[in-house]
Amino acid sequence: MAKIDDVARKAGVSKGTVSNVFSQKRPTSKKVTERVLKASRELNYVPNHIARSLVTKKTMAIGLTVPHGNFFFSSFHTQFINGVILEASTFGYRVLLDMISTKEVQTPTLASYPIDGAIVLGPTEEDERIEMLHRHQIPFVTVGKIMNADVEDGLTVNNDNERILRDIVEYLTSLGHRDILFLNAGKRMTVAAERKQAFEEALRERGIEPLPAMVHYKPPLHSDAYIKYGYDEVAHALGTLKQKVTAVIADDDRTALSAMNAIKDAGLRVPEDISMFVICGDQSMMHQTTPSLTGMDLQPSELGVRAVRLLMHQLGVLEGEYSRNWIVDSSIIVRHSCLPV
Amino acid sequence: MAKIDDVARKAGVSKGTVSNVFSQKRPTSKKVTERVLKASRELNYVPNHIARSLVTKKTMAIGLTVPHGNFFFSSFHTQFINGVILEASTFGYRVLLDMISTKEVQTPTLASYPIDGAIVLGPTEEDERIEMLHRHQIPFVTVGKIMNADVEDGLTVNNDNERILRDIVEYLTSLGHRDILFLNAGKRMTVAAERKQAFEEALRERGIEPLPAMVHYKPPLHSDAYIKYGYDEVAHALGTLKQKVTAVIADDDRTALSAMNAIKDAGLRVPEDISMFVICGDQSMMHQTTPSLTGMDLQPSELGVRAVRLLMHQLGVLEGEYSRNWIVDSSIIVRHSCLPV
DNA sequence: CTGAAAGCGCTTACAG
DNA sequence: CTGAAAGCGCTTACAG
């Protein structure tokens, strides 16, 4: 690989000048620029990103910090990442999929993060990744509320989960539903905590006493229960518990389909006997199922875009005022899976 | 941030020694090691990855090269990436989501790739990304056949697409199907070319003349036709063309659901009137639909693992013999969407 | 607008 | 097992 000295020699200029034509940080005269570019082309020269990073202290990469080992991209993540990639490339940033475990952080063989900042997916209540980023003073934004005790005033993008659950409860109760089974996200997710609280508050405001048995959390990935999440909970409620259920709120589309199978196996129908509402599903998938699924559109891609912008602000790449906690709009898309009682 | 000199001074050793305890490339005595580790801890020292890379010429990152701008993760990609991430972390490698467009490559502001090697997703017939990697002599492996004219004997992982299509045709014809509509992958994908050829050959071997109208390609992302892929083609065949169709082979689960809606709207049923077969779908999704979907299990996660291993061989990280074209097993999972004619 | 020189924070022969 | 010194390939004040 040709290096900057080779180009400088061939073009008859100093390497500082070669540096300038590539970085465009200082102006270079037209003829010198052309000489340099010509020499570079002939030598197949490309600036060494690593060497540049060492002096500029910038890697031009952001980390997408996902939980190590037990992570699985849902359609939500998928669209979120699409938003992140597209927006990051706008600023010339690359995206590093980062799934460092805490174990590795302790191990001395590991080097510093070659990233300028991070986006944390699916924060948990005491999130080790957040703690680590905070300790190493790496700028980050989380997708969802931060509940780490030692982190205050962190940057976040989020949907308005409280409002979302209120809207859902209002929608379902306006259809006459009072016996609502809630298949929530994973237990330690901060989003699950936000949702649960809002769900129960909204019920109480309508004079409905929330039952503990009516709220469930997505089991950990790789557990047997994970695959059957939705089916088991509904089957148990309808069968063993003989619990009256007229509506189900499902975390995602797969959970909803799973729950619908339990409903069918119990000899009931969606939506005639039980309504189904999806919080965090793939819109095109929800559109194609039978019946098509009513649910929220959380705009995951927009969340990704906003997460990047917030990080760019933090990194000083983007100028101007900005809110440290950006809320992305969400709306109910009514299809055919909810009916009045 | 503390640097190696600070630690060396504090521990009373040379920086070469500090380097050794972190890189573990040369042995260090126990007491020196402990002194260094203690000093590092107190100074909160972590080796600078960039500086290390500059001299070792290794970034310890591999690029996941996805098409720029019009990429969308399917469940297949999602699971593939899970495999890549997990396996890469095994070797201490990180994964960079790379979606560089050819435009950027021409622009002089861009620096060299900070990656040691790349995995190319969804190669097309004359793939620009492959051409570029080849030109810059960056080691890479593609997921799927390489059809670039100037690249010979490239590293690939793949399913046996020819065999897969033969198996599918054999399965469907054994059920008596002769009028099979094929909803293939995107037009310029090498996988689509492989599949089409095998599909038509397998039909001919059974005395069935393949009809051009019975093979369709997934439209480009962001086109109006993309969203309705499956629905439109089936509706057109059944309606306007009055084409006899007793079975449909769909590229993925979403396409299958979409096609099933067209079938329903035409007053027909799956599987009683038309059988549905999915090549590249999400197994848990296919398990949950009604009817559950019969199709291939392509083991996308295993493809990811193998892609990483192949790259590690190429990078000299993994020793020993290896095949330059690794085939991952696939099998038909029979569920409830295919019936005899 | 251009050049000469120092420096970014590590690793690695080389010598002991 | 340890140290002193050169070098990885750039950028950046500083001087002109």
- Identify the band that residue A112 occupies on the pLDDT scale cut at 50, 70 and 90: low
CA distances in angstroms from B49 to A286, B61, B112, listed in the order given: 44, 11, 17
Please, what is the average pLDDT of chain B?
Answer: 91
Sign of CA dihedral A163, A164, A166, A167: positive
Q: Which residue is nearest to nucleotide D13 (CA to C1')?
A: A16
Give the mutation candidate from A17, A58, A76, A97 for the B interface (greatest B CB count, under 10 A): A97
Q: At B138, list the tokens.
A: 């960056």
Q: What is the pLDDT of residue B72?
A: 62
| Angle subtended by helix axes A15-23 and A30-43, to nearest 10 | 90
Q: A205 CA to chain B: closest CA distance, Å?
A: 35
Chain B residues near residue A22 by CB distance under 8 angstroms: 108-109, 111
Question: Which nucleotide across the nucleic acid strands is nearest to B20, CA versus C1'?
Answer: C11
Digit-coded pLDDT (tens) for B23-77: 888 888 998 999 999 999 999 888 999 999 999 999 999 999 876 555 566 778 8
At residue A186, the pLDDT reads 92
Cβ B13 to strand D below 7 Å: yes
SS3 label, residue B115: coil
Protein residue minimizing CA–C1' distance to D3: B14
Least-confidence region, from A33-42, A176-185, B229-238, B321-330 = A33-42
B331 pLDDT higher than 60 = yes
> Quick one: average pLDDT of A120-127?
91
pLDDT band at A102 (very low <50, low <70, confident <90, very high): very low
Contact A5, A20 (CB under 8 A): no
Which residue bears the tokens 């031009």? A60
Question: Where is mean pLDDT largest: A87-91, B40-44, B85-89, B292-296?
Answer: B292-296
Strand partners, B295: B278, B333
Distance CA B211, CA B51 (A): 60
Rounded CA-CA distance A99/A64 in Å is 8
B109:A23 CB<8 A:
yes
Chain B CB contacts of A97 under 8 Å are 64, 81, 85, 94-97
**Structure tokens that stand for A296 in this block:** 């929220």
**Residues B181/B233, Cβ–Cβ less than 8 Å:** yes
Interval B160-180 mean pLDDT: 98
Name the protein residue, with chain letter, whose CA is nearest the C1' of C9: B51
